[in-house]
Amino acid sequence: MSTLWHGRFDDGPAPELMAMSVSLPFDRRLATDDVAGSKAHVRGLARAGLLDADETDAVVAALDQVAEELASGAFVFEPSDEDIHTAVERRVTELAGPAGAKLHTGRSRNDQVATDLRRWTRRAMVEVGSAVADLQTVLAARARDVGDAYLPGYTHLQRAQPVLLAHHLLAHAWALGRDVERLLAAGERADVCPLGAGALAGSSLPLDPVATAADLGFSAVFDNSLDAVSDRDFVAEALFALSLLGVHLSRLGEELVLFCSEEFGFVRLHDSWATGSSMLPQKKNPDVAELARGKAGRLIGNLTGLLVTLKGLPLAYNRDLQEDKEPLFDSVDQVLAVLPALSGLLATATFDTDRMADAASGETTAATDLAEHLVERGVPFRDAHAVVGALVRRSLEEGDGSLADLVADSEHFAADAGDLFVRGAAVERRRTHGGAGPVAVAEQLQRFEAHLDAERARLEAMVATLSEG
Ligand code: ARG
């Protein structure tokens, strides 16, 4: 078997070594980035006078053919292709002959793989960000179409105060907006070109990493060759952004599971977005929401695994770094599977707004408003809290419907306190900035839609820039 390093070795690698160390099965996904990086490197070699015009043309043509073969599936991999970089270089050399053998001049797989993975990460973060924006769009559309429907807001999963359903949906949408910012920040962090760092120390040849970085469409170039080949911070940051996104999707999933239960009965899933049971004929299960919740564990595992891989590594490149790719690819794949499914589930789900309103209209949901009614009459809040708390305690002994009577009989309250028990009154009264009532939520929804428009414009601009590079 012919390896890239055969000159120094009497014997080829053991099959077990190859079986353990081969990364081709997963780093094939870097193929287009590897070819793009190689072409930029070839142009750099030409500018440095290390390839003449004919050689340059021959190698670029070979790289184009390799790209076509890889895209069409015609590319034939050899057992000696331990990774995508080896495969591409091997095929270029077959096609371009001696000129192809000059491709790897002044380059190492160490700077090459870092370059490829940075390009891949930058693009993936934008792709995931766009899928998140799609989910936010669904949440905002549902927030608009549910109007002034309301449900109990919970703390400690105990009914606390009523909130508009739109407010609840938008709470998730804003959190997802921060995820998009984190994803794009991770993409920007990846946007530094390591090409020209060589194996670890740069080159004695007259290469110009600054020009190559610009040629390859990177925003910046590495400052330190050791750092350039050993830095995987950008992967860890991407995995963190994906993990926190996963945590948010998990919380949304958990709520959907709860709300679909008969106990809550707030949400009914469209048949296309639910699953049945192989044994229990009556079942309609929220598997999408459960998997959205379940994937978070895996995403966090991918982040944790990479951090542990990195923690003991001396400078510069170590083969351990090959372990960076599978967790990254997996986390991106998982969220790209979850996001459209959750979007579809939410776009088609039915909200039982009567049941929500019933759950949010118990007398005790007026408790805070009763205390605030007393505050408006000059009672210190702590005293008001105690007065209302005592009435609630008595009403629980006397039974449902008695709180309104107790308030009516109490000397503490004005006659209009009874209005606070009117269905929907408690949510209507929450008017402060960012609050849960119709007036405040209408303003919030406008702000959110403007935020989403700006986010979309930013994502589209990034997609356009990346498709040029
Ligand atoms: N396949 C390797 C990786 O993913 C890249 C090559 C560097 N290998 C090496 N022995 N220097 O990190």
> 244 CA to middle of ligand 1, Å?
29
Q: Whose CA is nearest to atom 6 of ligand 1?
A: 109
> 54 CA to middle of ligand 1, Å?
30
- Write the burial class of residue 231 (CB in 10 Å: 0-12 exposed, 13-18 middle, 19+ buried): buried
pLDDT in tens, 114-140: 999 999 999 999 999 999 999 999 999
Which pairs with CB-CB distance under 8 Å and at least 24 residues apart come from 333-338?
Answer: 334/246, 334/295, 334/298, 334/299, 335/128, 335/131, 335/242, 335/245, 335/246, 335/249, 335/295, 335/299, 336/127, 336/128, 336/131, 338/246, 338/249, 338/291, 338/292, 338/295
User: Which of 359, 377, 407 delimits the end of a domain?
Assistant: 359
Cα–Cα distances in angstroms (integers) from residue 185 to residues 64, 132, 326, 372, 452, in the given order: 32, 15, 21, 43, 17
Q: Whose CA is nearest to atom 3 of ligand 1?
A: 322
pLDDT at 386: 94
User: Which of 90, 105, 120 delimits the end of a domain?
Assistant: 105
Which helix (DSSP H) or strand (DSSP E) does residue 161 occupy?
strand 158-164
pLDDT at 469: 59
Do 269 and 283 lie in one domain? The reply is yes
Catalytic one among 2, 219, 261, 277?
A: 277
- Catalytic residue status for 277: yes
pLDDT at 277: 86
- Identity of residue 76: V
- Catalytic residue status for 156: yes
Which helix (DSSP H) or strand (DSSP E) does residue 154 occupy?
strand 150-155
Angle at 220 between CA 68 and CA 325, to 5 degrees: 55
Residue 142: inside a domain, yes or no? Answer: no
pLDDT in tens, 400-428: 778 999 999 999 999 999 999 998 888 99
Q: What percent of the chain has pLDDT over 70?
A: 100
pLDDT in tens, 283-340: 899 999 999 999 999 999 999 999 999 999 999 999 999 999 999 999 999 999 999 9
Do 376 and 302 lie in one domain? The reply is no
CATH number of the domain to which 115 belongs: 1.20.200.10
Q: 235: closest CA among 176, 298, 334, 321?
A: 321
The CA-based diameter of the chain, rounded to the nearest angstrom, is 100
Mean pLDDT of 162-179: 98
Catalytic one among 156, 272, 278, 433?
A: 156
Do 407 and 275 lie in one domain? The reply is no
CB 107 within 8 A of CB 45: no
CB 4 within 8 A of CB 89: yes
Lowest-pLDDT range, 45-49, 121-125, 177-181, 360-364?
360-364
pLDDT in tens, 371-381: 999 999 999 99
Indicate if the pLDDT at residue 467 is higher than 90: no
Which atom of ligand 1 lies closest to the CA of 113? 5
> 331 CA to middle of ligand 1, Å?
21
Do 93 and 125 lie in one domain? The reply is no
Q: 114: closest CA among 25, 208, 189?
A: 189
Pairing of strands 267-268, 350-351: antiparallel
Residue 159: inside a domain, yes or no? Answer: no
Mutation pick for ligand 1 pocket among 3, 9, 22, 83 (CB with most ligand atoms within 8 Å): 83
Q: 34: closest CA among 74, 71, 7?
A: 71
CATH number of the domain to which 375 belongs: 1.10.40.30
Do 222 and 325 lie in one domain? The reply is yes
- Residue whose token pair is 């006659």: 415
What tokens appear for 273 in the block? 């977005």
Q: Whose CA is nearest to atom 2 of ligand 1?
A: 322
Mean pLDDT of 339-361: 97
Cα 253 to its chain centre, rounded Å, is 15
Indicate if the pLDDT at residue 179 is higher than 70: yes
Contacts of 462 (CB under 8 A, 6+ apart): 126, 129, 184, 187
Number of domains in the chain: 3
What is the radius of gyration, based on Cα positions, of the chain? 30
Do 220 and 332 lie in one domain? The reply is yes
Do 56 and 192 lie in one domain? The reply is no
> 335 CA to middle of ligand 1, Å?
27
Ligand 1 residue neighbourhood (C-beta within 6 Å) = 23, 27, 83, 109-110, 113, 317, 319, 321-322
pLDDT in tens, 184-223: 999 999 999 999 999 999 999 999 999 999 999 999 999 9
Q: Whose CA is nearest to atom 12 of ligand 1?
A: 322
- Residue whose token pair is 């500018």: 47
> 109 CA to middle of ligand 1, Å?
6
- Identity of residue 152: P
Which atom of ligand 1 lies closest to the CA of 199? 11
pLDDT at 278: 87
Which helix (DSSP H) or strand (DSSP E) does residue 151 occupy?
strand 150-155
Mean pLDDT of 31-50: 98
> 11 CA to middle of ligand 1, Å?
20
d(CA 319, CA 307): 15
pLDDT in tens, 439-459: 999 999 999 999 999 999 999
Question: Residue 417 is part of which domain span?
Answer: 362-422
Mean pLDDT for all residues in the chain: 96
User: Which of 105, 122, 150 delimits the end of a domain?
Assistant: 105
Mutation pick for ligand 1 pocket among 110, 112, 200, 320 (CB with most ligand atoms within 8 Å): 110
pLDDT at 245: 99
The pLDDT confidence band at residue 468, using thresholds 50, 70 and 90, is: confident
Do 235 and 90 lie in one domain? The reply is no
